[in-house]
Amino acid sequence: MFFPKRKLIAFLFLFCVTLLVLFLSSREAAYIFRTATADISKIPLSIANALTHELRAAAFFHRSYWDNLKLINQKDEMEARLLLSQGVSAENDRLRKLLGLMTELPYKTEAARVIGKDFNSFRPYLLLDKGESVGIKKYSAVLTPLGLVGKVLESGRFSSKVILINDPDLSVPALIVRTQEQGLVSGTLDGRSKLRFLDLDSEVMEGDLVVTSGLNMTYPAGILIGKVKFVGVESSGLGKFAILEPAVRVSSVSEVLIVV
C-alpha cells in the first residue's frame, strides 16, 4: 500500500514538470514568466534604491549642515575681525587727535582713559585711570579735541573723578565768540548747561559758539563749551540767558586730556 502512494506522487511530479516545460516552450509563456519574475525581482531592487536615495539625502543634508555651519562661523569670525579692525582704527584716530591737541595747546596736559562712568546718580561723573602720580590735581580742567568735558572733583594717586559741564556746582567763565560778550556757564538741576548773566540787550542768538574766556586759573581760554540752542529772559527780567548744546557728548568719551 505504501509503494503505490510513492508511485502516484512520482507520477504527479513528473506530470507537473512536463506541463511546465511545455508551457515555457512557447514564447508567450516564457515572456509572461520572465515578466512576472522581473516584476517580483523589482521589489527588493526598489527598496534598495529607495534606501540608497534616503541615505544619500541624509549624507548630503549632514554635509550641507556642517558646511553651512562652517560658513556661518567663518562669517561671524570675519565680522568680528572687521569690527575689531574698525574699533582699533577709531581708537587710533581718537588718540592721534588727542596727541595732536596736546602738541598744539599752549599749556601742559596729561592724557587719560575713562575707566568708569555714572550718569544715573544725582551727580554724573567720569572716572579716569590717572591721578596725582602724574600731576593731576583737584579742579583741573578736563577736555577732548571736541571741547570741554568738566573738571576734576577728586584726585587719588592713580585715579581721578570728573564732574561734567552740566553739574550745578560747576561755574565756567565763558565768552560768546561772535559778540565777545561774557557770562558764566553752569549746570542746571535738570542736567542742562546754561549761560547766565547776559545783559538784557545782549545780541546772543541761536547757533552762537561759546568758549572758555580764561578769566580764572582752572579753565584756559578758547576751549569750546558748546553752541547756543535757546535764548530766554531771566525770571527777574534783568538779563538774558542761553541754553547750550554741549560740544562734547560725554556718554561717548573714551580718552581725555587733563590740564596739569
Percentage with pLDDT > 70 across the chain? 64
Boundary-marking domain end, from 82, 104, 126: 104
Give whichever of 8-22, 42-56, 178-192 has the largest mean pLDDT.
178-192
C-alpha cell belonging to residue 57: 539625502
Report the b/e string of 237-255 with b at 16+ CB within 10 A: eeebbbbbbbbbebeebeb
Q: What is the pLDDT of residues 176-228, one digit of tens each?
A: 999 999 999 999 988 899 999 999 999 999 999 999 999 988 999 999 999 99
Whether 213 is in a domain gets the answer yes
Mean pLDDT, residues 86-112 taken together: 73
At 19, the amino acid letter reads L
Cα(132)–Cα(115) distance, integer angstroms? 16
| Residues 195 and 67 reside in one and the same domain | no
Q: What domain range includes position 49?
A: 32-104
Q: What is the pLDDT of residues 115-160, one digit of tens each?
A: 999 988 778 999 999 999 999 999 999 999 999 999 999 999 999 9
Q: Taking the CA of residue 139 as centre, how many other CA atoms within 13 Å lie in the half-sphere pointing to its CB?
A: 8
Q: What's the mean pLDDT when you consider all of the chain?
A: 81
Total domain count for the chain?
A: 2
